């Protein structure tokens, strides 16, 4: 039986606090956080255009998190008189949270009954979700869809490529809006369906409504929503579970940073556009994460003329993640294939890369930024 979450491109699920702090449009916090009235930053863009203005927000309360990743024993690994199949793979990076492996053949599984995992992390299923082979439903990409989560109706937009057939597994990208925005305002800016040549399904979830407006508060309610939506989409559409990614703009970027810290194994990799953290606006120039072992494949996109999420905030996030991921302090800088104005240290571009992309833009999602995000996600095979 398919589990909600499986082992992902990073082997951690940690607990990390997001604190509120001054800044335009800061969030109201999560379960335990209070305060944080809406700021007076610029207004979000309209329609499909790139959003501009003060779309900053705080992360929210500390998550209770879950158990970390690491080497996991997969189900279905028992064998008679030989190595078990379906055991955890050797070596490769983990995907999602620890859970069952729906029958992927493993290397390194122990011989005999039990099929215990060999060295390495739990493998992915077969690269095909439960939706493969089912009748395809293609809703209008401009029509809000509704999902009940814990008795609360949550909404999202869904862009399913016209070429999708539910026979070939596609990439799944979650794309988040900023504070005081709606999901409709980032659809035209990210536009991953077109950028991917029809190889990606994109979901645009709507954040939580607070007394200060729309937010992406880093709390368990929103993470439960994301996980529930992920499971629902994988059950209805043909998705490659090893290629599920998260990106966000402004406060959505802050939520993305906190997810990379607190719920690392939900996604294969993460990308932020004018984001900050982890740790919320209060930690924007000195990010914090409760786990000293936090690692995440990440792309950070920062405008050099952004006065809302400033270059100092972007550079602080870069310093945090390069340290966390074990990148050297100095060394040769390399540019990823298909990236524009993005580089990373050569010693940190394999399992846990950290790319930093800059350009002369303000607090907005440029076409260059969106193209770089897709190129980064598409680099994971």
Please tell me the predicted confidence (pLDDT) of residue 73.
Answer: 34
Beta strand 298-303 pairing with 354-359: parallel
Coil, strand or helix at 248:
strand
Q: Does any domain span residue 302?
A: yes
**pLDDT score for 229:** 98
**Residue 122, Cβ neighbours under 10 Å: how many?**
31
- Per-residue confidence (pLDDT) for residue 126, from 0 to 100: 58
> Residue 321, CB half-sphere, CA atoms under 13 Å: how many?
32
Give buried/exposed letters for 232-260 (b at 16+ CB in 10 A, else e).
Answer: bbbebbbbbbbbbbbbbbbbbbbbbbbbb
Q: Where are the alpha helices (DSSP H) in 237-310?
A: 251-262
At 189 the pLDDT is 98
Neighbour tally for 223: CB within 10 Å? 20
Are the C-beta atoms of 131 and 201 separated by less than 8 Å?
Answer: no
Give me the pLDDT at residue 208, please.
94
The verdict on residue 108 lying in a domain is no
Domain annotation covers residue 44: no
Q: What is the model's pLDDT at position 131?
A: 98
Sheet with 333-334, side-by-side order of all strands? 145-149, 152-159, 200-205, 170-176, 239-249, 270-273, 298-303, 354-359, 342-345, 333-334
101: tokens are 């492996």
pLDDT at residue 331 in the model: 77
Give the whole-angstrom CA distance, residue 17 versus residue 40: 25
Alpha-carbon gap, residue 347 to 356, rounded angstroms: 14
pTM above 0.85, yes or no: no
What confidence score (pLDDT) does residue 74 get? Answer: 35
CATH code of the domain covering residue 218? 3.40.50.1820
The whole domain housing 329 covers 145-378
Inside any domain, residue 368? yes
Task: Chunk the chain into consecutive blocks of 10 residues (it has 381) and report each block's average pLDDT, rounded to whole numbers.
Answer: 36 32 37 37 38 49 37 36 36 38 36 37 63 97 96 97 97 97 97 97 95 91 98 98 98 98 96 97 92 91 97 96 90 83 89 94 97 96 89
Whether residue 265 lies inside any domain: the answer is: yes
> In the chain, at which residue ranges do the beta strands (DSSP E only) sit?
145-149, 152-159, 170-176, 200-205, 208-210, 213-215, 239-249, 270-273, 298-303, 333-334, 342-345, 354-359
In a domain, 107, yes or no: no
Residue 86 within any structural domain of the chain: no
User: Does residue 135 sit within a domain?
Assistant: no
- The number of domains in the chain is 1
For 112, counting Cβ atoms within 10 Å of its Cβ (0-12 exposed, 13-18 middle, 19+ buried), the class is middle
Task: Report the C-alpha gap between 333 and 177 in whole angstroms.
Answer: 31
Closest CA to 353 of 315, 321, 331: 321
Burial tier of 303 (Cβ tally within 10 Å: 0-12, 13-18, 19+): buried
CA distance 108 to 72: 13
């Amino acid at each position: 039986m398919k589990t909600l979450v499986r082992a992902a491109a990073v082997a951690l699920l940690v607990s990390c606090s997001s604190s509120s702090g001054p800044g335009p449009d800061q969030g109201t916090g999560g379960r335990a956080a209070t305060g944080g009235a809406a700021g007076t930053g610029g207004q979000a863009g309209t329609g499909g255009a790139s959003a501009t203005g003060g779309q900053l927000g705080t992360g929210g309360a500390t998550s209770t998190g879950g158990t970390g990743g690491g080497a996991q024993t997969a189900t279905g690994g028992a064998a008679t008189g030989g190595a078990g199949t379906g055991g955890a793979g050797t070596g490769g990076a983990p995907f999602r949270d620890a859970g069952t492996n729906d029958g992927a053949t493993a290397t390194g599984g122990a011989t005999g009954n039990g099929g215990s995992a060999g060295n390495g992390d739990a493998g992915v299923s077969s690269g095909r979700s439960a939706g493969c082979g089912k009748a395809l439903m293609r809703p209008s990409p401009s029509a809000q869809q509704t999902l009940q989560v814990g008795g609360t109706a949550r909404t999202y937009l869904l862009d399913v490529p016209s070429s999708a057939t539910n026979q070939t597994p596609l990439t799944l990208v979650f794309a988040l809006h900023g504070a005081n925005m709606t999901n409709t305002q980032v659809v035209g800016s990210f536009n991953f369906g077109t950028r991917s040549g029809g190889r990606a399904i994109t979901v645009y979830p709507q954040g939580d409504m607070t007394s200060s407006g729309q937010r992406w508060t880093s709390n368990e309610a929103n993470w439960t929503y994301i996980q529930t939506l992920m499971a629902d989409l994988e059950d209805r559409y043909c998705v490659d579970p090893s290629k599920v990614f998260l990106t966000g703009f402004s406060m959505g970027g802050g939520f993305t940073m906190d997810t990379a810290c607190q719920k690392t194994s939900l996604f294969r990799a993460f990308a932020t556009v004018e984001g900050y953290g982890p740790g919320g606006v209060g930690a924007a120039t000195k990010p914090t994460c409760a786990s000293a072992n936090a690692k995440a494949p990440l792309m950070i996109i920062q405008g050099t003329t952004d006065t809302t999420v400033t270059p100092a905030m972007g550079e602080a996030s870069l310093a945090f993640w390069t340290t966390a991921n074990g990148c050297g302090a100095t060394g040769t800088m390399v540019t990823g294939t298909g990236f524009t104005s993005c580089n990373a240290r050569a010693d940190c571009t394999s399992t846990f890369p950290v790319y930093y992309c800059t350009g002369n833009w303000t607090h907005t999602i440029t076409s260059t930024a969106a193209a770089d995000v897709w190129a980064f996600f598409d680099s994971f095979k």
